[in-house]
Structure formats: C-alpha cells, structure tokens
Structure 1
C-alpha cells in the first residue's frame, strides 16, 4: 500500500543542460526524480532548508576549493543530504579528495552508467537512513508516551531489572514516601517488602521474565517509609527498559471501567502520536478482527482519505512541520467520525476508516461533508497558514470475501482516482454492483441456454482451415452456435461465459 512519488533532489549548476541530462539519465534508470535547479551557490542554503531533498548533485570546476565551498554550505545548514560532485574529468585522486571533504562520490555526465549506479546506491542508502531515523523517532515517542502514562497514572508503577528498581512513577514514590527518584533507583526491590514475601516475589519475577506468569495478582506486605506494613496486590508484566528485559510492577490504586493497565498501555503504544489513529499494522489487525464479526444490518465500507497535493505541502512546510499539519488534519477527520469507526493511519498523510452505516449513501454523505469542512479549514503550522482540499476513496467490503487486501486496495485506488481527477471529491469502487448485474444477466442466460438445450436449438458449424501453402487438405474447425427464440445465431462469446459460471458446460458438451 506504499504510495510512489517523485523523489525531490537539488542540482547545483549554472547550465540548464546539466539539469536535463541528470533528469533524463536517472529517469532512464527507473528513478522518478524531481530536479530542483539552483543556479548560484548563494541560493543553496535556502534550497536545503525549503526542499526536503534526497540528493544534491553539485557541478563544480577543477579547483578543489569549489567542492569545499559546497560542503561548507551543507554543513552550515545542517543538511544530511547525500552530496555527489559532478565534474568533467574524474580519477581516483579526485574522488578521494572529494570524499575526504564530505562528498559521497564524484561522477561525470560522460559516464551515465556510473552516474546511474552511484545515484541508485545513494538514494537507497538515504531511504534506509530516513527509515531508520523514523523508527528511532517512533521508539522515542513510545517511550515518551509510556513515561507520560506512568507520570499521570494513579497506580504505583515501578520497573525492576535483576531485582533492582530502575524506574518508578510519582505514585510509587508517594506510596513509599521517597523524596525523589534518584533516591530510589538502584535500590533492591526486596527492601520495599516484608521478608516473608521475598521468596514469592523472587519466584514471580523469574516466572514473569520467562513468560510463565499469567494475569493473576501477587499479594505481599509492603514496608512503607514509616516502617508500617500494608498488604498490597501487584500486577506483574514483562517489559523492556533501556532495551533490556525488565518486569513492570503495578500496585493498582482502584479498578477502572476502561480496562486493565495492560490494555491501556497497549492502546497507547498502538496509536500514532500525531493523529491518534492506529498505526497501519495494528489497524489491519483490528480490521481483520472486525471482518470476522458479521454486520447486523446496513453496509460496511473502507474509506481512504488524504490531503490533496501533499508533496507540495511538505515542500512548503518542510519535513518536520508537515507532521504537525498531518496531526491537525487527522484531528479534523477524527472529530467528524463516529466513536465506533475504526481509525488508522496507512501512509505519510493517508488515513483510513472502517465505517458501518445504514446505506452506502450515508457514507458518501459523510465523505462530502468532510471534504467541505477541510476546504473551509485553515491549518496553522508555526508562522504559516495552510489551506487544502482532500480526496476520499470508498471501497465496499464484500462479506463473501475474507480478503481484506482487496477492500483496502479498492479504497486506495478510488482515492487516487479522485486525486487524479482534480481532488476535492469522492470516488467509489463497488464490485458488488458489478456482481449483482452479472448475476442478474446470468439468470436470463441460464434460462435461455436450458431452453435451447431442451428444444435442440444448438448447431455445429464447420469452418474450413486454409493452408498458408495453398494446399487443400479438407480440414475443418467445428464451432458451436446457439439459435435464439427468433432464429438468429448467437456466437459462443455471448453465452459461453455464463454457461461456465453456472456449470452448464457439461450439458452443452453432451449435446455436442
């Protein structure tokens, strides 16, 4: 479901012919690139800040100082874009000198094959680096979410590794009257409990790390800061802290109607931090679970939504600020949906909803209302104001098919079709309409075929087979025709498909 778009890159040169040569060379190698032409070195800094470029190709002269100036600008503006130096002449000494200055390689237009190979290598490396950074950023977000959850939780929570407390939330510190976290970290967990409970706690910690601890609670007497003993119930669950196995201990303050602590943590980690929607993998898992439950009444449809011209918005805002814009856009979509709708983020700016409504018209009405609301909304990101439209694609879920991929692809294809038609509109793909029409047509053809068989209204036609050498070997191709009620011949292309779909081919074969 990844959506392809032109890769933005910067070409620094004073000659437009160089830009066109780079563009055609890379496109001939199968790379969809969008070359942004920068004529002067003085404009390079602004371009690096405004364009989320995946590569910079800088045409320089033979003076090594030219390369140094380009790399200085890149470092000055903190751009982590791979830089290729383009020159008329290239040798090992030139390549080594440029790479020592920070360039990834040196290429020349005289050898397009090497330019294509080097560009492909660097684009793939940059793509993997961006994916890694995104993963690391997500991991940091998850950790921040977990810390935020722990800090705001009324339950006393602590993380333990090898019997040592490595983290705790304010509720745990308050329970044990510990002045600050630094005073607690590094202390043995057993100091917080009655000696008679140590054996049970140690056994529970080991079982939890081995995955042998079920969802039951552990009872033990806690030794509080004033020396008093208080009976408590703890929930234990395996987790990780600083990428190492740990056990999470939770002393529940009170029972919550919203579910257990594990359910709340799971929900927090499964959701996208910007939009509040389910991440793609978890959205698909929930979608499969929902599809397994039959709908009681009405229709069930998948709705794909994305801002129009998202790449232009990204270029305008930059790769960091655009995430805030997507968060605001997702919040607007979330405000208009019903609480029971399954809500997920399936791409950079693509959102998807599983909606259950009375009729397909209800879903289309909701989509048109959303489009009008987005068009009238002004998104404020930093010191900029953004107005945009959005496109909506609707794919009908066929209850007869267990494959969710077809419905997802239909919704995405419908949304792309709406964008290609100018955006700001709704497009629907409903295979059920086609199936219903085919089924109705088949019912008519079945009656006509059966009547023709009973009334012996099939005919065999002999079509001579002519030799290309001019010889007459007396060979014929035997074809079948059906005669309709008016005595007109019907070609096999008109009735054979319906006969195959309705298991009537054996009857026609017997007649032949």
Structure 2
C-alpha cells in the first residue's frame, strides 16, 4: 500500500502512531492531519489521498460531515472512523453514517488489514474508472473517421504517411490530401519536436503510451506550420500495424479572443510581428505564454467538456485582469498567448501575479463539479521582431513545461533583457576566472566541522571550496559557482575537490587521525554520472585508503531530473567503499520516496527543520517521520545551521546524530578538531 492518508483530528499524535505502524509493516504511506473541514478541501485537492479517517473524539466535526465532504470532492475515497469503542452498535452507527468500518489503536493488526482491504478497493476503482474513460475515448475515436473531423489527422505506417485528411492538407497548404501520401513523417515534423514524436511513436508501438496528447509542430516545404496537440493511437491499416495521429478538435474560440474571436491560430504569428514593431511611449512590449497546470489530469477528473469549460473561465479571468489594449489568443486547449505593453517588466510581472492569485482563489465550474486550477506563466520581452516566432513559441511552451515539472503556478522571464545580458557578461568573466584558477591550481578547501552528539572521537568535516584570485584574496563559492555551473565547469571542479580531499585524508591518516569528509557532487556531474563513475572507479583503486573516509553528497533538489543516475552513483559509490548522503533533505512531498529508492548512509536535514524545532506544525511532523525512518533503516542524521545550545539539546532529544552550524564551528581553511559534550 502506498499513498497518503488524511486524518481529521485535533492533534497529530494518533496519526503518527498509525503512520509508524503502517511504515514499520512495509507500507509506503504518509499521514496528513487536517485540523478541521476548512483545511480538508485544500488538502484533498492537492494531495494523493487514498483513505480518510475521522477521529471519534474530534467534536468540531461529526463523522457524517466528513463523509459528505469526501463525497463532494472525491466520492471513491473510503472513510474510516478511529474509535476505541469497537462494539457492534458503534460499528453499525459508523457505517450508517457512511464509514466503511471502525479502526482502533488498540488493535493495530486489524487496523492494518482493514486499511489494506479498503486501499485495494480504492485502487481497483481508480483503475476501473481510468479504463472506462479510456474505452469511451477510444470508442469515440474509432467511430469517428479522420475525414469527418475538422482536426488535422493522418495515418503513418513504418514512418511513412499512408493517409491524411483535408484539415491537415489545408493546414500545410496542400491542395489534395493525396499529395501527402508517401511523405516520411519526420519530414513533416519541425526539427525541435522530432525526438518528441519519435518517442511517442516508439511508445505506442510497444504498447506503453499513456494516451496523453502530444504537442508538436508540423511544417511543409511551402513554409506553412501547424501546431498540434495530437493523440497517437495504434491501429491496423491494410492488415498491418500503423499509427493514427489525430489532432484534438478546438472546442473554444481560437485566435484573438479579446477583439477578433474568429482569427485563426496562425494570426498569433502575425500579431507577434505587429506587437514587436508597435511602440507605446517607453512601454515594454511583451509576449506572455500561459499554460494551465496538469490539464491532462483535469481532463481525467472533469472530462473533456468539463476541462474545456474550465479553460474558458480561465480566459475570462485573463481578460478581467488584463488591460484594454492587451490581445489574448487561445493557442491550444490548455495554452493562451497574451500580447501587451507595460511600463516595465516589473509591472507586467505584477499584473500576471495578480492573475495567478485571482485564478488560485477562484472556484471554477466543470460540469457538475467545482474545481480549482493554477497556471504557469512565461514572459518574453519583445525587444525586437523575432526571426522565427513559431520556434519562439515552441521554446516558451518548453519553458512552461519546466515550470510545471517543479510544481507549476510559477512565473519566469525568458529572453535576454538588458539585465540578463549584463548578467551573462558577468558570468562569462567569472567563468574565465574559474578556468584560469583551475589551470593555476588556485583553489583551496575550507572545512566546517560536524559534531557528533553521541561523543564520537572521529573528525567529521563538511568540505567547502574557496577560490584564490590573482591578488591572493579569498573568493567565496557563491560568487563563482553560478558561472561555473552555467558554463559546464562543475565536473572539473568536483574532481579537483575529490582529489584534494583525498590528499588531505591521506595526510590525516598518516598522523593517526580518523577523518570523514563530506564532498558535494554538483548537478552537472550528476547529469553525466556515468562519466564521473568511469573516472571515480580507477581513482578509488589507486587510493583505496579512502574507503570509509569520504561521503559523496547529493542535493535532494537535484534528484528531480536525475533519479536513475543518482541511484547508479549511490550504488557504485557504496560498492567501492564510499558512503553517500542526501543534502538539504526533507521539504519535498517526494522525500519519503527518495529515501526508499536511494539507500544512502546519511541525511543532512534541510535548515528549515532546525528553525522549526520547538514549534508545532507540519515541519515538525515531517521531521518526526524522517527520524522514524532513519532510525528503522540505520541512516545517520545531520542537522544544519544550529545556532544555540537550546536548539542543539532539542535535536539531541529527537535522536539527531550530528550537528553543524555557527554554534559548532565556522568554516575555516585550517582543519581543526571539535570536541563536544552534552550534559
């Protein structure tokens, strides 16, 4: 069983006990506590709740109120009651109010069995509903011939177009669909989208495609382009396997919906040229790309018509929060383009933040359901007329997807503004300095001691880096690291640090000391972990004395795009005698899953946990869950930024193994020992 359990209760104590038991029994669950119905709706919308529990002692909300609330938001979620009184009358009363049964902390095996039973029923219902939706959609597609739809479509066999409809021919400026037959599919796909289409075709032919629409651009020799959100469907054509690529029909007004509702989507391109050449005093012209977050999930929850209804309401909110001279285009089912002028980029950003706040607070209608929605926004200043607006829109689409990978509901500014150009110039200067410092061996290690709260004699040190400039002055990492990261220099720096740390460890061992150095691995190195491993293996063979004395540290945030590479690096490092750690750990909802996948030796807790010590709240609940996991799996924990003895004592009471921060030791280029005792 894996997922999230929501408990409606005054305090988290019982919830913690439930979570601890289920986790000890091997279930990957996370228990969330809602202090009342006010916070319940927000939690159930944003979390992956599979079971809800009502505490019978919670007088602020009756069981039937929770059942009704669950049924309004997600009726398939089972509701249980936590009640120490489990006699027949209590069970009957609970079930009469809509609960699936009663669980008690006095009978944890029964609690686990009932949880497992209800979770399996819930999972089966979710899977069945998904299959029903997919069957209904496939039946709709099957019964609708390509020729009868106004959306562009084609059939492809062994990479060659074997059938196309009139909508596609017209979009690409062919007079007859027959003229498209015989074209290689990749000759019709824009270069930047070819890998996306290849991956989709491969997945469909192997039966692994998830049926989600794929966004890509078609182009022809005539210069015509057509952006498609298309479904890839495996079919048979003349008795042989083939793929049908079917564009989604536009359900809403496409074009400039603020004034000219009938303008075709291609009108966006002309409007971009026009906007770039139009000036309003000293105002800044901008292209804004708005993408609704998790639109595919919205379609699954509310259906296609419900999702379309939501998109239309979002357009209305855009209109209400925009200015009169702004032009708004419906670019695709889930994407809008705004063209407008503001006095500055800060004004434009402020305006769009107002739109996001308004959207987040809005309750939107989706058929008979009420849903919430967020959007990711990319702002592109039109300092000049772009040479290829289509490629620009494709780039902004990609940047919006990146924002959504990080959780969405965010704004970023793309393109080279004056400030951006200046920043890049500064980065280039710093990159040149870093390269020269590498060549001249002008780097030094700095050490921040890590103190054991159990009184270990061993010398633990967090390794930091300093650059020495040509005048002999020390330069902190925060000044040169961004340039090194942006210019691909971090793999060279990481190897330098490992080599230099190895030399220091060797000297320490010759002096009969027992050091342990924590050495960071950058995201650049993690992205090319195979190359780093190829270098690291022979290095460890030549320096076998390092075994047990060096820990490779990976920042949790860097795992999002590199989890499989991180797994390979962690497994390899441990196999050749190095320990591993996760840094800045614990603030992500995916943190428990990261621990399950990466069997690291140490966890360096995010500094937010140190600051939350002694305060009630979700941070403390998360910390307690992490500490429980660490204890069960013999993972050592390190608390960062400890500033006083009081915080240190509280961390010790919670079972934290090590601490670091200003209360322990400031970073120093001299390696100094730290003795620490708790009384």
Question: TM-score scaled by structure 2?
Answer: 0.29
Bigger RCO of structures 1 and 2 (CA < 8 A, at least 6 apart): 1
Q: Which has the larger radius of gyration?
A: 1
